[in-house]
Structure formats: C-alpha cells, structure tokens
Structure 1
Amino acid sequence: MNIKKIVLTTIVAVTGMSCGKDYLELTNPNQQTTATFWKNDNDALMAVNAVYQSLYYDGTFLRFAQCALDLRGDDMMSPSPWDVLSNTGSFKLFNNTIMQQWLWIAFYGGVTRSNFVLSNIDKVPFKDQELKDRLRGEALFLRGLNYYYLVTFFNNIPLVTKFYENSSEYFPAQASPEDVWNHVYSDFDEASKLLPASYSGADLGRATKGAALAFLGKSYLFNKKYDLASAKFKEVMDMGSYDLMANYGDNFTEANENNRESIFEIQFSRDVGGITLGWVSSPAADWSKTTARAITFAPAPFGWNDAAPTQWIVDEFKKEKTKSNEDDPRLKATIYYNYPGCTLYGQSFQTVYAAELGKLGVKKYGNGGGNVPDEKDWRSGINERLMRFADVLLMYAECQNELDNRAECAKQIQRVRNRANLPDREAEFAGLSKENMRERIAHERALEFALEGHRFDDIRRWGWLQNPTRLAELKSHDPEFNSYVPGREFFSIPQAEIDVNKNLKQNAGY
C-alpha cells in the first residue's frame, strides 16, 4: 500500500465539505465542515492527501496536462481527429476550448486545496511536530507545483495564496509573471526545508526534499537565474539518493516505478479503487487511479493515435552511433518504427503496418511491451515521472555552461550519454564555445527527454520562437509551427473565466 491508495480512501471526505450554503440553508450534523474538520493530526493528513488527488484529473495528469506539454514540441505532432488536440499541436486553439478550461480548473483546484491546508493546519493541536512540518512541506510543494504549471501554461494568472470560504466573492486580477514565479520559488524553498529525503511503505510517492530542490532549480532555470539554479541542482546531486537507471527504458514502465532515478512521479495503479474513469466531479470510491495517457498517445489500432513522433526526432537520434555502431538505444525505448524485430502489443510492426512501413508511434509510457492486446480499456497504471535525475544532471550542465564552466558541463553531459553507450566526447565538448555548447545541450536534451513533455518548454525558454532563424528550423522539424502566432507560446485565458471575472485580461495573440 502506498500513497495512491491513501489518496483514494481520504479524498471523498475532504472534498465533500461545502464552502457555501445548501439549497435549503439547513445544516447536516453528520457532514464535515471547515469548522468541524481540523481537530487532530489525521484530519490534517487527510487534507494533504486530498491535494494529491488534484494531480489525477483530466485537466492535470489523467490526460490533458501531458497533451498540453507534449503536442506543441517539434518532437511530436498531433494527427488527432479531435480538434481540441490537433489544434493544441498547431497553436490554433480558440479562447474557450476545454483544453484551456480544464487545465485552468484542475491546476487551480490543486492551488485551492493546498491553500485550504496551509490556511488551517495551525488550528490542529498536533501531537507530532515532525508530522506537522512534513505536511506543511507537502502542501507548499504541491501549491508550488500547481503554480509552476499554471504560469508556464498561461503566464498571466491570478496569484491566490489563502483559502476563501466563499470563492464566489473573490475575483482576483492577474499578478505579474515575476510575482508568481517569486511565490513558486518561495513555496519550493520552504518545502525543501521541511520535507524528508525519502519515504517507505504507505508513504512512498509523497513529495520529498529532493523534489522540492529539483523543481526550485528548474524554476530558477526557466528565468535564467543560473547561479541559483545551479546551487539547487548541486544539492540534489550531493544528496546521494539518486542515480541513473542502467536501463533507460525502466523509467517509463509500471514494473520499475519509484526507482533511484525518479525524483517525483504521479502514482497510478490498476489495482486501486474501482474501474470508473474519474473525469470530472467529486471523487468516489469506485474511481480508478489510472491514467489515460497510454490510450491517447498509443498508435492506432492499439490506441487513439492522438499523438505521433516527428520524423525529425527519429533522424536526430540517428545522427550518432553507439560505441557498438548501433542506433542510440533510447530511440527504440521511445518510438515504434520499422526496424527488424520491432513488436508492439504482441504483434509485429511489419505485419500491422505492412501498408504503412513509414509509420511512427509513441512507445514511451505505453503498455505495448506487456501482456495487453491494446490500450482501449483506458486504464494504464504507469506512473508519470515529472522529474528524473537525468533532468537534474542536464539542467545543471546547462547552468555550468552559462556560468562559463564548460568542463563541468561536458562531464555531466557525458554522464548521461554513457548510459546510451555513446562515445566519450567529454574532452571535445569541454573545448566548445558557449554558443556551440548550447547547441550540444539542445541536442542532448531532445534525445534524453523525447516525448516526455520537456521539449516545448525548452525551446520557449531558450527564445527560439522569437528568433526567425530558429523558428524556421522548428517549422522544418514540424509543419505545425507554420501556424504559430507570437504570443501563442502561452495558452489563452479561458473565456469562461473572463466572463465571470471581469478583472482578467486576455493574453496576447488571441
């Protein structure tokens, strides 16, 4: 038993609490309220468990967050017949589609639940101060995480830092992105001082000190605070808790979850709860704790084929052979394509796609190597790895380049390359100029994190969308960039939100 089971058994009680009046203005003496809930350590624990539930909705990591993160990169495109997804990949979303709306609702739901904890936890007469500190740290981390995604998705967002009993009376204006980022830094920093280095047993999967430090470093990196980011990544590296898995593919399977490379991952399981898919509304005991990523991304006829790798990323993998003169092994762990012996869901690629041998399919985070015939029950149990140690190493390397320490940068790049059995080029890379090293980092990150939702955020923070030469390259990698409009590196503010909150202003480009 771990946190995914704890979340299921405690979320219903917490989210069932009403913040307003019921229709008859009567009080149910058996119903939990904010006035009666915060009585003991277990109440606080249940409330924090409820915050984790916010990561399981369709607007977060049940499905839509992965689509929002992945489909806009040049390593992936969307052939989906559903315009919500195909328009996400081609920057053509209108102001009021469910993509923006569900992201906004679900991630702000996580903020609200975090604020609920942080605004009330001091009411509890804790018997265990260490538990109180840990729970506060978890709530701070989860609030920081939700705001991290909100500001990277929307840029101009309200910053709400306390719980309001009646949210209908509160219509905040947008804060500056700088103010939001400063709050993200603060949440992750404070969380890192309160959270333990690791957990075991039922608590496996909760936020750790390493997770808070890694996301704090990544937040600094997004804003070019290289010295601050470098220091936080180095703290993670010096903890001694993390290392690269010997087998790259072990990072994306159900069998190797919560491994030594994983710093933070969303816990999914086919063995918890019922089989009802938890799309919307309040969670119930029969809700499944699974993800719909696999069916969404899997190639037809095994899934919906709403996403597919681009030929560019395949070609990028093939630019350099291993020491054994073979293709980079990360390619076969990431993508289904036409090579001898390729099988998926128990069938030969060459047989399934005999009339379409140029087919490319998403393998990463799928169940094609297991014992299931397809993904069409919608219920994948593969945990979503939001932060891997490999990312910390390459982000640290990027900081070292910007701080003019090319030798250390090259060392960490080669450390990641070694797992893929690529030639040792550390000395060569150490002699590169800063600009040429940036090119090398971009290449190495594209391969290590292909189809994991990092690529678009990378090219956006590097300023490639504002660089005509770079934008032309992106268009050659993925024709979906032909319809990019300046400003659409961020999603529009959902029109439904603007309609009810007149203080909100629409983002540029829409």
Structure 2
Amino acid sequence: MKKIFLITVVFLNLLSLSSCDNELELNNPNTLTTGQYWATESDAQAGINSVYAMFYKDGLWARWIYFRLDLTSDEGFSQSPWIELADWTRFNYINYNFWEGNSVTWRDTYKAIFRCNQVLANVPKIEFKNEDDKKKILAEAKFLRALHYYYAAILWENIPIVLEPSTPNDRPEQKNITEVWAQIEKDLNDAYTDLPTEWAGDQTGRPDKGAAKGMLAKVYMQQRKWTEAKTALEYLITGAGAKYSLVANYRDNFTAENENNSESVFEIQFGDQRKGGTDEGPSAAVSSNRAQFFAPRSIGWSDGQARFWLVDAFKKEKNKDGGLDIRLKYTLFYPDLLADFGDKTYNKTWQWGANEAWFRKGSRDYYRDNEDYYSQVNYRLIRYADILLRYAEVLNETGNTAGAYQYVDMVRARVKIGTLAAAHPEIGNDKTKFLEQLKMERVLELAGESVRWEDLKRWGDLDTQASVDKISLRDPDFKNFVVGKNQRLPIPQVEVDNNPNLSQHPEY
C-alpha cells in the first residue's frame, strides 16, 4: 500500500526546442513531443507521478536540502573534510555556483516546478471519464508547486515565479518575497478546493485537504499572518479536518514501521527497492541518503552532526517518573546514550567523541548497524505534533496565551512530561516568556526535522546582532553570520549571468 509513486518512472523530455534552423525543428523519432504525449488519463497520471519523483533527486529531499535546513541552523553543523561543503553550513559562501551547496537545489527546485507546470498546462485538455479525477491531479500539481516554492522562498527569498512550461529562451522575472508568498497561498488555496479529505489506501502519500491546510499554516506563519494561520490550523485541530492524533510511541515517526500513521499530515514516501542513482533512468533510486550523510563515524559519511547543546536541553526537565525525556533517546546519538537509557540497540563500535552528538531520527539502527544510500524511511514533512505547537504559537501571538498551554501540554503528555504551567509558573500570561519557552518546546519535539531554520527566520532571531550573538553561544558557526545577508542564500551566479531579469541579492 505504501510507496505508490516508487514504481513509476516517467521521462518528461517533452520540450520541443524552437530554432530558425530547420534541422533543429525535426522531431526525434525515439521520443514523444508534448503534442503527442498529453493525450490520455494515464499520461496525466504519469505526469503527476513524475513530480513526486523529484523528491528523490539529490538537490532536494534525497540529500542536499538537509544541509541547508538542518546543518545551517543552530541544531546542526558539519566537520566534513570536504571543506567547501562544510563552509556552506557555516555561512562561508565563496563560490555561489557550488553545486552541492546551492546550484543543484536551485536546479531541482525549478525542475520540479517545471513538471508541475507541464501538468497544469496540459492535463486540462485531456478528456477524463470522471472530471473529479482530473481536478485531483491538477490540485496535486498546485500543492506540489507551492511546496517547492515554499522552500525556495525560505532559502533564497526573492526568486522568479514561473507558472507556465518553460522554454530555452525564457528569462523569468525576479519577484519580491511578498509576491512569492502570495503565489504559494493561491496555489494552496486552489489545491485545497479539489483535494480529497483522504485518499484510498493504495494512494497513500498524496496530499489531502489537511496537507494543504498544514502548508498554508506554515506560509501564513512565515509572514506573521497569525489570524490566517489560526484559521488554517483550526481545520486540522477542531474543524472538518480534525482526524489526526499523536501516536503513543514517539519513535514511530522516524522509522519505516508504522508509517503514514495518525500523526502524519504529509510525508515523503521513500523506498529501497531500486539501487540506482538520482538520475532519470529506470533503476533510479527512490531512497533517502540523509542517514548515510548524517551517521556517526564508521557507519556513514558523517558530513553532518548535531550540536551538543541539544543533549543538555533535553536533560533540563525530568519526566513524571523522574527519568529523562524519552525524546532524547530517539532524537540523538551521544556518548551517554547507553548509560542514560540502557539502550543496547546501537553498535558500541560506532565512533563519537566525548561531547559529540549525531541525529538519530531516520536512522535504521533498530535493525542494522550501518547506513547506505538507500534508506526506505519516510520523511515526515508535516506531523501533528508540529501542528499543535504551531497552534500554541498563533494563540499566543493573537492574545490568547492562556489558551495556548493545553496544546503544548498535549505534546509533553505523550512523553510523560508534566504540564507547562507547573514546570514554568514564571511564564504566566506573559507573551514574550511563553514564546521563549515554546522555542525550546519545538526543539525538544522537532529537532532534526528540517523546521528549525524557518523557525529562526519567523521569530526574527536572525534579524538583529543581539539575537544572533545569543545563537552563537550555542552554535559558534553563527559568529560568521552577517545580519541582513546570511538569512538567505546567494542565487547561483550562473543563473544571474544567464538571465538579465534576475539580479543577485545586493548584499552578495
């Protein structure tokens, strides 16, 4: 039932090139043109499946995007011997065209958007037996286009908006971040209208109305549109889409067992049935490489690891039984893991130093003692615990701090941690103090889940030297951070050089 998109491989080399040379206008007899391809319902379905296939490319969720979202934040860092790679996690941007740090993620983002645009441009003209099936495919394309634009906006901010299938001569105009957010909102609201409330079991993994509302909440919150975010989140918590619940076992969110569970709002489906690369060939992998690159020394490449302050943060508050927060056990590898939890599931030959920590979420240590490029563990991009903590944040921001406590407590109760009010009576109804504690609550629940960078941006913690200085106390890489510059990546210079309508961010 799982991994519905993993079997389909579609080659969308459907772009007919135009040229004044007649020779270049000849059709390749071995490939289909766009005019020949988009004719049937099966063409439409294969077209939308090809968009999901972009999750498995190395510029996106197979590999490199985690270096931008997790390691650049104060949760992680890199000591990779590949100096240029490590430099791109510590704000030392020299070569703006560095492939693994920048260009490949830009390329794969717009490649995914191109595929969405192909679907949106060509599927409307295809005759379907059931028009609702057509509407669903178009809604999926809009959701996925919005998702890729969202992360592009988080990373680069002012970027081109492309809404039609591209041609080689296109030079799209750069748009302000405000316009980018507006387009994402439009796509998600359009998608919500025609997405189903749920999919049949054999279609698990496609976005539903809840996923659209979850993404909308993220978009609104990044703009500090608290009222709109509150409405979106209420759909998931108290409204028509309130079908979610926290799973009893916290670790069920990070293994290949019990995937797509009641806590999942949207997750990327990974599999290990093909052992190829990240190309477009028939054996191309549909796996995640994250665990291979983030694994402790001796079992993976160890290019990314967690900051040790996270271990200390987990130990500040005991559970109701007087023990440690169980989330620490399943969030991080660290030297005292065996002593703290009696955890004998990991191989004691794995190598780490006295004050080193490594991300454990998504690892496969529960059944093997090494990693590779073919992890089948789904990536939970949005889960209900995140939704509950976000709702607490918007309630606090809209003047209802007292009402926000219960949603934090739901997350704490799952791991037998006492109520927030009892643990921190000093907060009371103080909005600022509540937010400061909520920042810690989000770390304890969501560390290593690719949300911290957007959190830091949303909270304004990257906007002043004083706040950046505080971050640098727990992450020395932020001593390199330049306020007003490093909150966004430079645009790959080759893109700027090739497009007169695109300007490099002025601070670069």
Which stretch has the larger CA shift, 29-38 or 100-109?
A: 29-38
- What secondary structure, in the 3-state scheme, does the structure 2 residue paired with 1:386 have? strand
TM-score (norm 1): 0.93
Give the TM-score normalised by the residue count of structure 2: 0.93
- Read off the aligned partner of 1:504 and give its amino acid letter: L
CA distance in 2: counterparts of 1:143 and 1:198, whole angstroms: 20
Contact 2:8–2:49 (CA<8 Å) still a contact in 1? no
1:256 Cα shift?
A: 2.1
Post-superposition offset of 1:352: 4.2
| 2-structure distance, mates of 1:66, 1:8 | 25
Residue aligning to 2:282 = 285
Residue 41 of structure 1 aligns with which residue? 41
Distance 1:178 1:429 in 2: 37
Find out whether 1:217 has 2:213 as its counterpart.
no
One of 352, 359, 364 as aligned partner of 1:362? 359
Partner of 1:96: 97
1:155-206, Cα deviation, whole Å (9 max, x unpaired):
0100111113xx2211022111111100000101111111112223331101
Aligned equivalent of 1:254, options 253, 256, 262: 256
For the residues of structure 2 that align with 1:356 and 1:126, how far apart are their CA atoms? Answer: 60
Aligned ranges 1:444-483 → 2 under 5 Å:
444-483=441-480
Task: Report the Cα offset of residue 467 of structure 1.
Answer: 2.5
**CA shift digits 1:308-327 (9 cap, x unpaired):** 11121111111111111111
Which whole-Å CA distance do the structure 1 matches of 2:481 and 2:91 have between them?
Answer: 5
Compute the displacement of 1:464 (Å): 1.1
Deviations 1:311-369 (Å, cap 9, x if unpaired)?
A: 21111111111111111111111111213266577522xx544x834332221111122
- Report the AA paired with residue 489 of structure 2: F
Q: Which runs of 4+ in 1 moved over 6 A?
A: none
Tell me, in whole angstroms, the C-alpha distance in 1 between the residues paired with 2:452 and 2:164. Answer: 33
| 1:300 maps to 2:297 | yes
**1:111-510 → structure 2 map (5 Å cutoff):** 111-164=113-166, 167-237=167-237, 238=239, 239-271=241-273, 274-278=274-278, 280=279, 283-337=280-334, 338-339=336-337, 340=339, 346-348=346-348, 352-353=350-351, 356-370=353-367, 372-375=368-371, 377-426=372-421, 428=425, 431-486=428-483, 487-510=485-508
- Name the SS for the 2:462 alignment partner: helix
Structure-1 separation of matches of 2:363 and 2:444: 18
The 3-state SS of whatever aligns with 1:202 is helix
Give the letter for the 2:369 counterpart.
P
Secondary structure of 2:266's aligned partner: strand
CA contact (8 A) 1:71 1:88 kept: no
1:104 CA drift (Å): 0.6
User: In structure 2, do the counterparts of structure 1 residues 391 and 234 end up closer, same or farther at CA, with 3 Å as the change threshold?
Assistant: same
CA contact (8 A) 1:317 1:327 kept: yes
Report the alpha carbon displacement of residue 299 of structure 1 after superposing the two structures with TM: 0.7
Equivalent-residue separation in structure 2 for 1:24 and 1:159 (angstroms): 29
Aligned-residue CA RMSD (Å)? 1.9
Cα separation, partners in 2 of 1:69 and 1:138, compared to 1, 3 Å: same
Counterpart residue type for residue 420 of structure 2 = R
Number of equivalent positions? 495
Q: CA 1:388–1:429 in structure 2 vs 1: closer, same or farther (change >3 Å)?
A: farther
* Alpha carbons of structure 1 residues 508 and 450: separation in structure 2 relative to 1, 3 Å: farther
Return the offset for 1:138.
Answer: 0.2
1:29, CA displacement in angstroms? 4.7
Q: Structure 1 residues 432 and 319, CA, compared in 2 at 3 Å: closer, same or farther?
A: farther
- Is residue 68 from structure 1 mapped to residue 65 from structure 2 by the alignment? no
Distance 2:181 2:364 in 1: 36
Asked whether the equivalents of residues 9 and 282 of structure 2 are also in contact (C-alpha less than 8 Å), the reply is no
Structure 2 residue ranges without an equivalent (≥5) = none
Counterpart CA distance in 2 for 1:453 and 1:429 is 30
Instruction: Write the letter of the residue equivalent to 2:97.
Output: N
* 1:60 partner SS: coil
Q: For 2:383 and 2:402, how far apart are their aligned partners in 1?
A: 23
Residue type at the aligned position of 1:199 = W
